[in-house]
Structure 1
Amino acid sequence: MKQIERYIFGRIASLTLLSLSAITILALTTQILIRVDVLTTSNSALLTFFKLSLTLVPEVVLAVAPFALLVGIGRILTTMNEDSELVVIEASGASNIFIAKPIILFSVLLGIGLLLVANFAGPKANRNLYSILSGSNTDIISLAISSGKFRKIENGLYIQVAESLPGGGMGGIFLSDRRDPSAELIYYAKVGTLKKTDNANLLVMNDGEIHRSAAGAEQVSVVNFKSYVLDMASFIPSTEKGDPLPKELYLPELLEPDTTNSNYESHRLFYNYEIHFRLSSWLYTIAFGAIMAAFLANAQSNRAQHFQRIASAVITCVIVRVIAGIILENSKTSVFAGALNYIFPIFVTLLFMLQIYAGYSLKLPKSAQNLIDRLQERITTIFERRTKPTSQTKNNGAV
């Protein structure tokens, strides 16, 4: 790889990875801020929540990496065009292939990274999710409890704690359990504590009542107690207590599924979906790189035309992504759609790489360019109307 190619490769790689990291951290920070009032009360709860947040990283990376690539390629090529670097490269006799080569190479490497994430890091993270839940029930309940507020643990299961007491105790515990359609259980206790033993994590409630009523019945049976113990394992969502779901299985386990798995029949269609998603999603990263290179590898002296090409590239990528989602959804039941998961991104990649080799500069149709120009003019007019009164007010004030 020549020096200028290494230069383009390095700049695109650094900006893409920086964008990917920023979006991932932003997603995790959002989750942390939602629970900040709870996390500040317990060091162990904070550690557990960070572990849970890390299990979300593979899914976030798979979702945003292709669009982080768009940001990296679009921004770097725009900067190079504004600094006349693309003009100098073209003046030296280099073709579009010279600029497209490092872009395609990085897209391939990023795609391979996503392939590894989808098939190794993703299933491992999803499996670790349950092990964290089952091994740290006390901390999970601490995360679910927010003083004075009802919190939903799962469908039909809600908990409220009126206040936190010194020494880790809780006052005014209210728990409603409607997971069983045939009965409703309501627990109330004046005080309670979370205790961990060798075999289980327990919620010990003191001085309270249990209200039990059958579905549709008006009568309610009330049981008073001085002390009552609940196993925290019963608070783990039922969808995560059984056999592994398709997203928790490694690729060989998806290709040769265990028919004795309790989730096999209810999620059988998702086995095909998961297989095609893991094996085809990385191909779209390469397709996105080819699309961006085909639209932006040429130098443009007119900024408006360069903006139009960026818009064209992004719109094309979004359309490709939407079509990919439709194909993937249909691959649950259609063998033909399953094959299209691989044929379509390869076809798109080859189509735009042929455009690059042919030296043809892609751009929007004239009608679309005129529409973008009118939108730009409209936005500029609206902005000027809103800023003009402010400027006049400042001038009048100065007088």
Structure 2
Amino acid sequence: MGSLERYIFRQAALAFVGGLFVLTLVVWITQVLRQLDLVTNSGQTIALFFLMTSLGIPVLLALIAPISLFIAVMQTLNKLNGDSELIVMSAAGVPPWRIAKPLLMLTAIVMVFVGSLSLWLTPSSIRYFRLLLTQVQANMLSAIVRPGQFTQADRGLTFHIRDRAQGGVLLGIVVSDTRDPQVHMTYVAERGVITEQPQGTFFVLETGNLQRRDMRDGATAIVVFDRYAFDLSQLTQAAETIYRPSERYTSELMSPNPADPMLERWRGRFRQELHDRFAAPLYPLAMMCIAFAMLGQARTTRQSRGAAIAGAIAIMAAVRGGGFAVSGLVAARPAAVPFVYLLPMATILFFGAVSLGWIRIRTPEALSRLSSELSDRLMRLVTPRTAGGGA
């Protein structure tokens, strides 16, 4: 790779890494704020909180990397054009493929990066997040239950405590269990504690009574107890056995277990998730081709560059939005699977041909006129302020 290619590669790589970091950080912070209430209310450590929120970063990287690459290529080409470097290269006889070569090398790296995230790291991180979330839910009664509030741990199972003492002891406990529609159970106890036993997780209640009401005939029975163990194992076991399609390994999506009870329920989502993972590495190349086709040629006026940038952004948004739409369609219709790959491939072929000069596209006159008007208005707004500041 010559000095010219290294220069372009360095400019694009720095822009890509910087854009990827900033965009990922912004989106990650929004996710952190969403998860903050869950972890703080459950009494978990700050280390576990950051671990759980950081497990979503691979998902963000896989989604943001193609867009960051698009922005980096567009910024690099626009800078080269704005500094008249593209004009000098064109006048010196540098062919377009030589300018595209370092960008393609960066794109290949990003494609491998996105493919690794989509096929391996992302499902692994989401699966581990599910494991940690299950552990947090296992301590739900001693951590998440807030004094003075009713908390529904499961459908038909509600807990209420008056206060929380040292050592994880809960005071003033009321448990309403209506999971069985024929028999409603109400537990009232002065204190209780969560214990982990080899047989499972139990809520040990002390000094209380059990009120059992038969809904068929309305008969009520009250049993006074000094110590009673309420089984919580079913609440944690359900979370451990159910994995969503996004939490399955790629091998599990390719060869699902026929005995899996979730396969029939989520068959469409299994198909959607699998093909989304395989199609994800195609989008960085599609984004690069769009940016290079629109901005890879030397442009001598500010208006034409503005129209090209606006057109590139609009096309990128349409292609990525179309990808999400097709993905949703695959979950409902197996016949839509080819379109998951056809959309990015068609984008690559068409804009690749435009980049090589095999196909020529013209910026619509209306878009050029709109870009020129916006630029002129912006200049009119900036110029008086600049003049006033100088005075």
Give the structure-1-normalised TM-score: 0.77
Change (3 A) 1:356 1:52: same
Q: Which amino acid aligns with 2:111?
A: G
Change (3 A) 1:39 1:302: same
Q: Does 1:105 align with 2:111?
A: no
Map of 2:19 onto structure 1:
19
1:35-78: CA deviations, max 9, x gaps? 55675688854333333323322322222222222222223333
Change (3 A) 1:197 1:355: same
In 1, Cα distance between the equivalents of 2:256 and 2:79? 50
What is the CA-CA distance between 1:88 and the residue it aligns to?
3.1
**Deviates most, 285-294 or 297-306:** 297-306
Map of 1:57 onto structure 2:
57
In 2, Cα distance between the equivalents of 1:301 and 1:162? 74
Mapping 1:320-335, distance limit 5 Å: 320-332=319-331, 334=333
What is the CA-CA distance between 1:292 and the residue it aligns to?
0.5
Mapping 1:265-304, distance limit 5 Å: 265-304=264-303
Provide the aligned C-alpha RMSD in A. Answer: 4.1
Change (3 A) 1:3 1:27: same
SS of residue matched to 2:284:
helix
Change (3 A) 1:37 1:245: closer
1:8-43: CA deviations, max 9, x gaps? 222322322332233333333334334556756888
In 1, Cα distance between the equivalents of 2:325 and 2:41? 45
Mapping 1:208-223, distance limit 5 Å: none
**Contact kept in structure 2, 1:294 and 1:362, CA below 8 Å:** no
SS of residue matched to 1:264:
helix
**Contact kept in structure 1, 2:62 and 2:118, CA below 8 Å:** yes
Mapping 1:1-399, distance limit 5 Å: 1-34=1-34, 36=36, 39=39, 44-138=44-138, 144-145=144-145, 165-170=165-170, 192-197=192-197, 200-205=200-205, 228-236=228-236, 238=238, 240-332=239-331, 334=333, 336-358=335-357, 362=361, 364-374=363-373
In 2, Cα distance between the equivalents of 1:90 and 1:2? 17
Change (3 A) 1:108 1:165: same
Change (3 A) 1:137 1:357: same
Q: Which amino acid aligns with 1:91?
A: A
Query: Percent of counterpart pairs with the same letter?
Result: 24
Give the structure-2-normalised TM-score: 0.78
Change (3 A) 1:331 1:223: same
Change (3 A) 1:200 1:365: same
Please list every run of 5 or more consecutive structure 2 residues that lacks an aligned counterpart in the other structure.
none
Please list every run of 5 or more consecutive structure 1 residues that lacks an aligned counterpart in the other structure.
392-399
What is the CA-CA distance between 1:312 and the residue it aligns to?
0.6
**Contact kept in structure 1, 2:183 and 2:215, CA below 8 Å:** yes
Q: How many residues are matched?
A: 386
